[in-house]
Structure 1
């Protein structure tokens, strides 16, 4: 019996020891948790500020659109978005030729779309995309989607801003001093082209090309003889422009192609038909006649190095000039010959080209009536697809020009 008592006592003692150990362990765990809870939270890692290089020929600047304003920067070599140049709705972007700044011609109001209106050129640093300056101007046209309402001249020292309040005029801005200089009345004309040593030229509603000598105390305006009909066969306002050669390539709604040599006294070539250059029947203005027509919101991209124009074309009737393109026609302007036709899987509403030795075409495509837009990047020489960038903006596109 004594043996039994000894064994029972040993058993109870072991259980007590295990229970005590468990209680101690829980107490220690609780105290450790309390200690950890009272420790200070670790600080967030410090973010490194990233800067951009000067703009490169492979970059494309895309207006994001009406709902999400701003100009997205994409590298066509990698298909990656690099940054965003801030801009208000219906603004216009220009790129500093020296690569140090981005200029945005824009209008804002103190209360959203009402209140006191302020028109300005906003200057952003190209490396940090931070605001550098605001230059007040006395007005500007509110339209957006046009490449030639806001242009730089004199190696980036001067800006010309198209205005309509209600008469058409041009604001001259000194970008070096950061101030408005003067306003030049220019009745019935628009779409500005810098002319070296002179000022600028513009297309006019009477079918002429106006040239404005800016430096004179009183600006001198001369006009060429009318060469197109702004009523019956207008010129697309997103045309080709070569600042180095001082040349412009114009395309009308029916597909007539003009080249203009800019200067104090510009010369304009006889037109030729882009359809005839492709070996098909020329288009006309007759109702119900179906032909190949140029179209889209930004339907022509001009490669300065080769002198080739890439044009978005579609089949339809006259006055279908806003229809997206179903083909790209590669036009050798000097030879007056379409050397290649590239069919598109999805219609495109805008086209741009990088000014590289091996250029890339950038298309804003439309996939279905309610489908999202996307940027399509193609090799301009082969037509090979490089990238498809979803939800990347569908506004006017710009590339860096030499």
Structure 2
């Protein structure tokens, strides 16, 4: 019969201690990739290292916005008590940016199941107010106090969507009549005005994933045929005359004629803007009008002020979403139908990283203050 080992020779067992990992607040080199239909969550990557930093819990068709102060990630979402059925709940969910822990949920009226759009859920430049697009059954916007974490009011905005901040006023939105609506908030009341129509939503629509520049208080728009507009955002916005991206590259202007093959912009998120330099990066493909969902075979770098294409990048494989880091040495972030992310150095065109299974949805970066 075996004898027990003496107590002093038995291996000591260290008690387990649990801990919680934290990450830094969002940095200018980071980018955020929505998983799309194939993967849950929004993954956080560092563009310099190509390494994943964490993941924000987002459902399909949710929209994420970043607190300008970097303290929180906000998610506007619709969920059901039984996964894909049961009681529907619409809310803005708040996560701590360091721990990624849930902070709170702000109940919302209406139906927030819109998703995959950068401009359905926006935050005011001072970070105090959220504007959440709602469709139940008409277009509207829920206005949220992000400091007190409660709904301020819900307003109807028929025929309008795709929001942008309007500092000191409220917000502005694109409308189906071709105008830009401005919604001035007065407590729980809203005063709505419109510019004159400047584009045709039926003949040459604007891509809804446009770019707002917080420092210049300016929005840059791109149409299906390749027309580029800029709008100064104020209580009475002004919209510039457009110019053609094709003409800026020295080729024939894009048009809406059927079976007319040309270079056109396309993809789910076809454009990105480097705010400091005014350089715009556009996914382009050869096709005809209404091929706006086609992924890009090239990236065209456009100098907005000079109205000139200054560089063209040929891609190894088609890409569907594009963003650019707001850094002195910008990086391009792109993904396609395979869910792989490609990171390019703008200065050299060199591929710095290729990240597999990163996600196929829209890409978000931290905007400069």
> Where on the TM-score scale, by shorter chain, does this alignment land: which range?
over 0.9
Q: Identify the residue that residue 345 of structure 2 maps to in structure 1.
A: 379
Runs (4+) of structure 1 moved beyond 3 Å?
38-48
Q: Does the Cα contact within 8 Å between 1:148 and 1:193 map onto a contact in 2? A: yes
- Does structure 1 residue 307 correspond to structure 2 residue 287? no
Q: Secondary structure at the match of 2:340?
A: strand
Write out per-residue CA displacement over residues 219-240 of structure 1, whole angstroms, 9 at most, x where no aligned residue.
1111011110000110000111
Give the whole-Å Cα distance in 1 for the aligned partners of 2:164 and 2:358. Answer: 29
Residues 140 and 161, structure 1, Cα contact 8 Å, conserved in 2: no
Give the match for residue 20 of structure 1: none
Tell me what 1:6 maps to: none
State the TM-score, normalizing by the size of structure 2: 0.96
Normalized per residue, the structure richer in helix is 1
The root-mean-square deviation of aligned C-alpha atoms, in Å, is 1.8
- 1:91–1:105 Cα contact (<8 Å) kept: yes
Comparing 377-386 and 155-164, the one that deviates more? 377-386
Return the offset for 1:39.
Answer: 6.2
Query: Does 2:128 correspond to 1:157?
Result: yes
CA distance in 1: counterparts of 2:354 and 2:135, whole angstroms = 38
Which residue is equivalent to 2:185? Answer: 214
Residue equivalent to 2:362 = 396
Is the CA contact (8 Å cut-off) linking 1:240 and 1:302 kept in structure 2?
A: yes
Aligned length: 367
SS in structure 2 of the partner of residue 373 of structure 1: coil
Residue 41 of structure 1: how far off its partner (Å): 8.4
Q: Give the 3-state SS of the residue equivalent to 2:186 in structure 1.
A: coil
Note the alpha carbon deviations across 1:323-367, whole angstroms, 9 max, x for none: 00000000001100000000001110110111111110001034x
Alignment gaps of 5+ in structure 1: 1-26, 367-371
Q: Deviations over 1:61-105 (max 9, x none)?
A: 110122422110000011000000112221110111111111111
Instruction: Please give the per-residue CA displacement for 1:300-339, whole angstroms capped at 9, x wherever unaligned.
Output: 0000010011000000011000000000000001100000
> Residues 190-205 of structure 1 correspond to what in structure 2 (within 5 A)?
190-205=161-176
Question: How many Å separate the matches in 1 of 2:80 and 2:360?
Answer: 25
Q: Report if the CA contact (8 A) 1:93-1:150 is conserved.
A: yes
When Rg is computed on C-alpha atoms for both structures, the one with the higher figure is 1
- Structure 2 counterpart of 1:124: 95
Aligned counterpart, 1:12: none
The higher relative CO (CA closer than 8 Å, separation ≥ 6) is in 2
Q: Corresponding residue for 1:63?
A: 34
Q: Relative to structure 1, is the Cα distance of residues 141 and 135 closer, same or farther in structure 2, using a 3 angstrom cutoff?
A: closer
In 1, Cα distance between equivalents of 2:3 and 2:261? 85
Q: What is the alpha-carbon distance in structure 1 between the residues aligned to residue 103 and residue 358 of structure 2?
A: 26
User: Could you say if the C-alpha distance between residues 44 and 237 of structure 1 is closer, same or farther in structure 2, counting changes exceeding 3 Å?
Assistant: farther
User: Map of 1:286-305 to 2, 5 A cutoff?
Assistant: 286-305=257-276
